Amino acid sequence: MKFSKLIFGMTVGLGLMASAHSQTILKIGYATNDTSHYGVGSTTFCDEVEKGTQNRFKCRQFPSSALGGEREMIESVQLGTLDLVNTSTGPVGNFVPEVKIVDIPFLFRDYDHARKVMDGPIGQDILTKFPAKGIIALGWTENGFRHMTNNKRDIVKPADAAGLKMRTMENKVHMDGYKTFGILPTPMAFPELFGALQQGTVDGQENPIPVILASKFSQVQKHLSLTGHVYSPALLLLSPAVWNKLNDADKKVFSEAAKKAAVAQRKKVNDDENTGIAQLEKDGMKVTRVVDGQGFRDALRPAYAGYSKEFGADNIKRIQDVK
């Protein structure tokens, strides 16, 4: 009797060990806090993967730049030391140059236009360029239209932005555009930004409303101008070290989970856009709602000449023509 109990206990124990061993914990990082749009998208992705693989894969989230800036996290995904990152496209062009075209200022008319491009043939074709660079792009998520904040003055027209030391991402496409407004672009990793604004190292920054909210920039910035100068898509990137070990069924689960993550993340962006501006005003920011959009576009003409040479005027027009 004792012997059979011992065998039963060993069998159960071995079974539990086997089930524990068969579970893979995936590490996913992103720049903002866990209640932000990145947190919402990442949580949706993780929940769907866990459900679709019967908990054979689970996630451990690392929000608030716990694993470094976006560039470092992308490098870690490439190296296989991080499994996943939900990142803006800002630094991605340094790894996959084809992405840079979507970072051109005033390229997209509105969210509907931007999302149609990313979900359509143009956006989906860009995703196919990643594996050759040692990264798997599971899908487009979203960061939102970028707006300018600063501590000096309201920005209505390009001349108002001239001379402002503005933190930007390490993104030449953005920086070339911003220089035409007279801005002094100052590349800086996102985790350093709050402190730099607090200390006056830079006058301002530019980010979508969801990021401005989640990062509590209202504590260190006085003026918000709704310039909407760049649409900032985002990406859910996976390490090939993980992807190459997945069977076809699991690959499908991961891909479908990324689509659901995009829907959830975009919804959170919409919600933040709808309620966040009033919240930032309540927090003490002075909001300039109407800016001279045509003036900014006119100022960009020299930069667009450069973009046409780099990306091809036809490719830019193809994006602009999407209805």
What would the 3-class secondary structure string for 42-102 be?
A: HHHHHHHHHHHCCCCEEEEEECCCCCCCHHHHHHHHHHCCCCEEEEECCCHHHCCHHHHHH
Sketch the domain layout of the chain as residue ranges.
Answer: 2-320
Extract the tokens encoding 36. 């932000």
Q: Is the dihedral of CA 316, 91, 78, 264 positive or negative?
A: negative
CB 80 within 8 A of CB 48: no
Q: Where are the alpha helices (DSSP H) in 150-247?
A: 158-161, 172-179, 193-199, 209-214, 240-243
Q: What percent of the chain has pLDDT over 70?
A: 93
Among candidates 207, 204, 224, which has minimal Cα distance to 215? 207
pLDDT band at 10 (very low <50, low <70, confident <90, very high): very low
Phi and psi of 140, rounded to 5°?
-85, 130
Could you tell me the CA-to-CA distances from 284 to 15, 94, 165, 278 in Å, in that order? Answer: 58, 36, 22, 10
Task: Say what the pLDDT of residue 22 is.
Answer: 86
Q: Is 92 exposed, middle or buried (0-12, 13-18, 19+ CB in 10 A)?
A: buried
Mean pLDDT along residues 119-145: 98
Among candidates 316, 237, 236, which has minimal Cα distance to 77? 237
Mean pLDDT along residues 276-295: 97
Asked if pLDDT for residue 19 goes beyond 50, the answer is: no
Asked if pLDDT for residue 242 goes beyond 80, the answer is: yes
Could you tell me the CA-to-CA distances from 64 to 28, 215, 289 in Å, in that order? Answer: 11, 9, 29
Mean pLDDT along residues 230-250: 98
Mean pLDDT along residues 149-178: 96
Give the span between the Cα atoms of 158 and 181, in whole angstroms: 5
Q: Which residue has the tokens 């992405």?
A: 99
Task: Say what the pLDDT of residue 11 is.
Answer: 45
| pLDDT tens digits, 80-92 | 999 999 999 999 9
pLDDT band at 18 (very low <50, low <70, confident <90, very high): very low
Tell me the pLDDT of the chain averaged across its residues. 94
The continuous run of DSSP H or E covering 311 comes out as helix 301-311
Half-sphere exposure of 147 (CA within 13 A, CB side): 27
Give the span between the Cα atoms of 132 and 130, in whole angstroms: 5
Give the span between the Cα atoms of 235 and 84, in whole angstroms: 10
Pairing of strands 136-150, 223-238: antiparallel
CATH topology of domain 2-320: D-Maltodextrin-Binding Protein; domain 2 (3.40.190)
Task: Say what the pLDDT of residue 21 is.
Answer: 52
The continuous run of DSSP H or E covering 208 comes out as strand 204-208
Mean pLDDT along residues 139-165: 97
